[in-house]
Chains A and B, each alone.
Chain A
Amino acid sequence: MNDRIKLVVIGNGMVGHRFLEAVATGPAAERCDIVAFCEEPRVAYDRVHLTEFFSGRSADDLSLVAPDFYAHHGIEVLMSDAAIAIDRVAKTVTAHSGAVVPYDKLVLATGSYPFVPPIPGHDRANCFVYRTIADLEAIRAASATASVGVVIGGGLLGLEAAKALKDLGLKTHVVEFAPRLMAVQVDAGGGALLRSKIEALGVDVHTGKNTQAIEAGAEHVHKMRFADGSEIETDILLFSAGIRPRDQLAREFGLDVGERGGIVIDDHCRTSDPDIYAIGECALWSGRIFGLVAPGYRMANVAAEHIAGSDSAFTGADMSTKLKLMGVDVASIGDAHGNTPGAREYTYVDGVREVYKKIVVNADNTRLLGAVLVGDAEDYGNLLQLKLNDMALPEFPDALILPRRDGAPAFGLGVAALPDAAQICSCHNVTKGGLCAAVGAGATSIGALKDCTKAGTGCGGCVALVGQVLNAELAKLGMEVCTDICEHFAHTRQELYHLVRIGAIRSFHELLARHGKGRGGCDICKPAVASILASCWNDYVLAPRHAGLQDTNDRYLGNLQKNGTYSVVPRIAGGEVTPARLIALGRVASKYDLYTKITGGQRIDLFGARLEQLPDIWRELIDAGFETGHAYGKSVRTVKSCVGSTWCRYGVDDSVGLALEIEHRYKGLRSPHKLKFAVSGCTRECAEAQSKDVGVIATEHGWNLYVCGNGGMRPRHADLFATDLDKETLIRYIDRFLMFYVKTADRLQRTATWLDNLEGGLDYLRQVVIEDCLGIGAQMEAEMTAVIDTYQCEWKTTIEDPEKLKLFRPFVNSKRGDEQVVFVRERDQIRPAREDEREVEPA
């Protein structure tokens, strides 16, 4: 008996890929032989974030397919090959290449195509759509000789496309037939505000425009003529006037399709042929096409489960959306237009902060029907849950959208009230029950929950809510999350920072006396407080009251190695060093017989310095023009750079110059953990800035800023934070970013983990740094200036003070060194002797 299933999938977009994942990791994985058609030359990628292709993400970055995923699961993918015929009797699919592929079950995931209105001239050169990476590559190529771009269509995708044109440096217009932008999701009030915000960003918006013809232009490639007699000239035209389901195969081979397109499916995503399924934007369920990725994913799961023998069903999907368009928050929930009979509305407009919020409630004022949020979408998560779970509204529903200025806590839904089935993350279909189970199984931080459930890793809109579920569940389980830093302080690092800053506390013992408990302190709180004191006041770290607090590296201003000796790293800012300095460095290394190695941060590490040698070594290095490199501190380390436009054929800007400026600006800043920077002179990214805490990459129009990357044990790709910045803005953002990290991070928490655990994530960080939503921007800049103004080379200060030099005596009562430190030679340099070599072969 053969119970194997020959499964064929046509289409390898986001939904097609999700289906393959669901089958490959589902119960029927072992029984399925899978063939997938992929018409494009690359496997599934993230179309939702397609715009980021223009702001630095590569096609590889956008890929959704883990390397070797298909090979590993035995899935055969027919690349660059389209299905052109289905024989439903013989049960075969014929490929464009001529291959004939048999199936038991066939899944159509053909997606949609962009609708191009039949305006005369729509097929001229330099007219594009915005759907695939190939489209984007063509647009980018055309933009090289263009100065103006027009997007036809002011919907969600049209505004995304407009951002892309703007990122390419074009003067950008949006032309919309309807009287407002995003007419489907947003009402008139929200649309007006959205328009003014987008115009403020330098995009011209033309609504109520009926394009009659596209002709040759006088000054630009095209001239668009509108019904009202007006005209616009442009070099590039981009159609984004809606999508249409790709249902051609279904039509040609006799499957039922809807009157206005779309392959008709039942609740199990089956078409009119029970062996053929359709999922995603090509499918028509209950007369509706779902043009969002979350319902498509749901269909993919339903179809995969049904093929594996379960009875799961698609029951429709909520079409609420929250997104950020050109930096403007927009969200729409349910009946945004108040079309339900008897519906009533509450509206809040803040003309100064440019915020528009509306909620639509039922006639009884007890249930939420819909909402529109523009300019501030923070309430989205709460409102969506109220709507989806049909929960009772508070007595005065306007409290849901009114600002809270009296210090009252933000309106919280009380996540305890949510049913377990409530969907918290719609991108990955994670329910409250799923989150609670994960918390119970040990995922007790936001970062851990994200890792194991994927919640909050799609659009990120639900992260605040995930945090509320986490805290409520921890409280319920009686798991007190002890955030005390140690037994001596019932405070978090963040609280200690504020106590130090606000109380103007200048020493550990003062802090312990005022806010601590017990006596002494320990190796957790002492270095943490030393770091906070340094971040705030930047006193000399070896001042008598501070020296004993420092970890050994800071206490002896060197990096302790396994045998008790230290390594020495002078600053080589930006990795730039003159031959004379390099020779001087070599002389010192040679004189003291130090093991010498080039570091990953473009400097030179000298190993094997005994405690008592450190001051002499540093005196010679300082005389040669070096200063401390702070390699021993939890502080700013290096700013790695490529040679940039000064030397490189491809360089766009002076990366070394900027790296030097940044390194000298932030050197010596003490922080919760070490900080690494890099500056690349072009998108080839030779300085690897996207793996750093702060990375900067030159563009044609300025600098792109990346944050919170990390190499090491758990690599994290940095997030693109802001694009095309001038230098002044760039520096301001970095000032604020660093200070906000210093203020709020946990001890020994790198920026990558910090961001993963920051409620509100990257969006919130942007609000704090770019939009200054907390109103602390100027204060953080002033605090940074204070640190910069009090910079000192700690080694210079140390060697000038005979009292300080006493610290480097190996013994308080003898001039001898530690004779038990033994080196042997290997490859012409020293290394610590192993235990078995100690007696035999002293260096």
Chain B
Amino acid sequence: MSSVTHTEPVHAKPAPGARAPRWVDVCALDELPFDAGVAALLDEGMASECQIALFRIEDSTEIYAVANFDPFSRANVLGRGILCHIQGEPAVASPVLKQHFSLRDGRCLEDDGVRIATHAARVSAGRVLVAAAAGEG
């Protein structure tokens, strides 16, 4: 695995004018599998607790966080989906009924009317940080 440095990918930047995110330390970067996803609990035990799915592109520090809940099957499974690049855009394919969701903005590529929550995510000192307040979308 490559050495991990502090980076802040472009996509993780909060939108201008948004409230400053509350970054939550979720796990070590090493816990994320190579070019695949995993589920995590954000704010465990708090009123704001929610399930998220984390994805890591190959063994880079490019990571994404979206909701773990698949709106089509209504099951918490997206962390177990296959990580895809559709026309260059990172996405996850639901393991249940195979719809694709953009990891950048959460929209369903097959159904414009459906969108899942996304969270800003970044790597800092070998730790994965996720913004607790859901981003746009």
Contact = CB atoms under 8 A, between A and B. Distances in A.
Nearest to B78: A564
Contacts of A126: none
A interface, how many residues as a size bin?
Answer: 35 or more
Contacts of A382: none
B82 A812 contact: no
A313 to B, nearest CB: 56
A821 B44 CA distance: 17
Interface in B72-92: 73-77, 80-88, 90
Contact of B40 (A521, A552, A556, A813): A813
B39 interface: yes
Contacts of A560: 77, 80, 95-96
A519 B39 contact: no
Contacts of B36: 547-548
Interface in A535-587: 544-545, 547-549, 551-552, 555-556, 560, 562-564
Interface stretch (A58-66, A339-347, A522-530, A623-631): A522-530
A835 interface: yes
Nearest to B58: A509
Given A820-B76, A835-B74, A812 B32 contact: yes
B33 A547 contact: yes
Interface string A486-522: 0110000000000000000000010000000011111
B80 to A, nearest CB: 5
Given A548-B33, A812-B39, A562 B85 contact: no
Contact of B75 (A521, A549, A556, A563): A563
B124 interface: no
A519 B33 contact: no
B54 interface: yes
Contact of A519 (B32, B54, B85): B85
Given A522-B86, A548-B33, A548-B83, A812 B38 contact: yes
A230 interface: no
A509 B54 CA distance: 21
A549 B86 CA distance: 15
B80 A555 contact: yes
Nearest to A552: B95
Contact of B84 (A520, A806, A818): A520
A429 B102 CA distance: 52
Given A813-B41, A814-B44, A520 B83 contact: yes
B26 interface: yes
A563 to B, nearest CB: 5
Interface in B47-83: 51, 54, 57-58, 73-77, 80-83
A560 B97 CA distance: 11
Given A812-B54, A813-B26, A818-B76, A551 B95 contact: yes
A433 interface: no
Nearest to A564: B75
B27 interface: yes
B73 A562 contact: yes
A811 B40 contact: yes
A338 interface: no
A812 B31 contact: yes
Interface residues of B, number: 38
A551 B77 CA distance: 13
Contacts of A812: 26-27, 31-32, 38-40, 54
A810 interface: yes
A548 B34 contact: yes
B8 interface: no
A813 B75 contact: no
Contact of B41 (A518, A552, A563, A811): A811
A544 B58 CA distance: 11
A353 interface: no
B93 interface: yes
Contacts of A807: 33
Contacts of B41: 811, 813-814, 816
B98 A523 contact: yes
B35 interface: yes
Nearest to A806: B31
Nearest to B1: A544
Contact of B39 (A545, A552, A556, A811): A811
Contacts of A564: 73, 75-77, 96
B76 A545 contact: no
Nearest to B75: A564
Contacts of B90: 520
Interface in A473-489: 487-488
Contacts of B84: 520-523, 526
A522 B74 contact: no
Nearest to A562: B73
Nearest to B91: A522
Given A548-B82, A560-B96, A562-B73, A518 B88 contact: yes
Contacts of B35: 509, 521, 548
A813 B27 contact: yes
Nearest to B88: A518
Contacts of A816: 41, 44
A816 B44 CA distance: 10
Contacts of A806: 31
Contacts of A526: 82, 84
A569 B35 CA distance: 28
A521 B85 contact: yes
Interface in A84-114: none
A526 B54 CA distance: 19
Contacts of A835: 74
Contacts of B32: 812
A547 B36 CA distance: 8
Contacts of B40: 811-814
Given A520-B85, A548-B82, A813 B96 contact: no
A832 to B, nearest CB: 9
Contacts of A521: 35, 84-85
A522 B51 contact: no
B105 to A, nearest CB: 17
Contact of A552 (B31, B81, B88, B100): B81
A813 B52 CA distance: 11
Contact of A527 (B51, B58, B77, B82): B82
Contacts of B73: 562-564
A549 to B, nearest CB: 8
Interface in A792-843: 806-807, 810-814, 816, 818, 820-821, 835
A521 B74 CA distance: 26
Contacts of B26: 812-813
B39 A562 contact: no
B57 to A, nearest CB: 8
A564 B78 CA distance: 10
Contact of A562 (B76, B96, B100): B96
A615 to B, nearest CB: 16
Contact of A813 (B44, B58, B87, B100): B44
Nearest to A555: B80
A796 B62 CA distance: 33
A562 B86 contact: no
B85 A518 contact: yes
A509 B74 CA distance: 32
A821 B74 CA distance: 10
Interface of B: 26-27, 31-41, 44, 51, 54, 57-58, 73-77, 80-88, 90, 93, 95-96, 98, 100
23 contacts: A487-B87, A509-B35, A518-B85, A520-B57, A545-B34, A547-B33, A547-B36, A548-B34, A548-B35, A552-B95, A560-B77, A562-B73, A563-B73, A564-B73, A812-B26, A812-B38, A812-B40, A813-B41, A813-B44, A814-B40, A814-B44, A821-B75, A835-B74
Given A549-B82, A816-B41, A821-B75, 7 more contacts: A520-B84, A522-B85, A526-B84, A548-B83, A813-B31, A813-B40, A821-B76
Sorted from nearest, which 9 A-B pairs have the closest CB atoms?
A520-B85, A548-B36, A552-B95, A564-B75, A523-B93, A522-B84, A523-B82, A814-B41, A548-B35
